[in-house]
């Protein structure tokens, strides 16, 4: 497998050499619920901690994580098998020593379809997986350490999910999220609702139950990812032109969203990108990639 540039990773040129990340197909048996599997590995050596920031997709994740003895990540001692709820702001993780993660990114409605649980109950939370997905899944991390082989751990994760997958295929709002991700003409919730023949109220209710957050947030998140990628590809891009093209009201709206999510203006972000040679592919389909400081 070759390394795939990961959409949503903030300031990716500056962190490209800090860790390795790969993506693997879910496979036919799991594709109705799982978008793909991913792995991240790092060895900081003497370099010290590194914070990775991700504009994550509207998805939940199941992860098997490990690190140095005594390491704590997301508030949980390593190693651990965890369920990550949707992240409403940006996902941040500090990488230290040696470590790694193997993950399964659920489709937008995949976790709800798998478990029947309200996705909104897990938004902005990271919880042990065993209570939600069964003791066998919850124990996948046992025996993991700094030298764990990601490929071997990925095989264990895939095998257990295939063994325990639900009997029925989901019929949720996942296709609606896919439409929002790929149709740049959809910039308002009322447009989305009309395009899928649902009322706005029904769409709101189903998104909270199945995705974990409202459709307005999802649209904004896709626009923010597009804006960050555009600034990395061309730091000199005209923000007054970029903002309405991506569905923001104006440049001020784009700037306010950037500051709220990332803590800096688009101009400051662009300056960082200009100062670092880019290693990112200049092309990416709207919303089809995934950000990853941890494969997200």
User: Exposed/middle/buried for 195, CB within 10 Å: 0-12, 13-18, 19+?
Assistant: middle
What is the pLDDT, as a whole number, of residue 103?
Answer: 97
Below-70 pLDDT ranges, the chain: 1-19, 276-296
Judged by phi (left if over 0) then psi (alpha if -120 to 50, else beta), residue 86 lies in: beta
Bridge partners (DSSP) of residue 65 are: 80, 101
What is the pLDDT, as a whole number, of residue 156?
Answer: 97
What is the pLDDT, as a whole number, of residue 34?
Answer: 97
* Both structure tokens of 246: 């991506």
What is the pLDDT, as a whole number, of residue 295?
Answer: 53
**91-95 and 61-67 beta bridge pairing:** unpaired
In our burial notation (b when 16+ CB lie closer than 10 A, e otherwise), range 149-174 reads: ebeebbebbbebbeeeeeeeebebbb
pLDDT digits (tens, 9 = 90+) for 227-255: 988 998 899 999 999 998 888 889 999 99
* Both structure tokens of 192: 């989305």
What is the pLDDT, as a whole number, of residue 275?
Answer: 72
Tokens 């619920």: give the residue: 33
What is the pLDDT, as a whole number, of residue 258?
Answer: 86
- Structure-derived torsion over alpha carbons of residues 80, 86, 92, 98, reported in degrees to the nearest 10: 30
């Amino acid at each position: 497998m070759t390394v795939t540039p990961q959409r949503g990773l903030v300031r990716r040129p500056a962190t490209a050499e800090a860790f390795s990340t790969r993506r693997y197909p879910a496979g036919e048996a799991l594709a109705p619920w799982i978008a793909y599997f991913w792995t991240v590995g790092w060895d900081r050596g003497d370099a010290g901690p590194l914070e990775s920031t991700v504009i994550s997709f509207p998805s939940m994740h199941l992860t098997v994580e490990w690190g140095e003895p005594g390491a704590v990540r997301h508030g949980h001692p390593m190693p651990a098998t965890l369920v990550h709820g949707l992240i409403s702001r940006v996902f941040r993780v500090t990488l230290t020593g040696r470590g790694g993660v193997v993950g399964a990114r659920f489709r937008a409605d995949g976790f709800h379809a798998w478990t029947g649980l309200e996705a909104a109950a897990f938004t902005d939370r990271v919880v042990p997986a065993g209570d939600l997905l069964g003791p066998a899944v919850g124990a996948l991390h046992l025996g993991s350490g700094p030298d764990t082989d990601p490929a071997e751990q990925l095989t264990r994760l895939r095998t257990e999910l295939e063994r325990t997958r639900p009997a029925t295929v989901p019929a949720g709002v996942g296709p609606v999220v896919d439409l929002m991700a790929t149709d740049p003409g959809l910039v308002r919730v009322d447009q989305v609702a009309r395009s899928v023949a649902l009322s706005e109220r029904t769409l709101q209710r189903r998104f909270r139950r199945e995705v974990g957050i409202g459709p307005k947030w999802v649209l904004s998140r896709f626009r923010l990812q597009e804006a960050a990628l555009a600034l990395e590809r061309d730091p000199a891009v005209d923000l007054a032109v970029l903002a309405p093209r991506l569905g923001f009201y104006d440049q001020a709206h784009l700037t306010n969203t950037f500051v709220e999510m990332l803590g800096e203006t688009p101009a400051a972000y662009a300056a960082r990108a200009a100062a670092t040679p880019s290693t990112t592919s200049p092309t990416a389909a709207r919303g089809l990639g995934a950000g990853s400081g941890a494969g997200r």
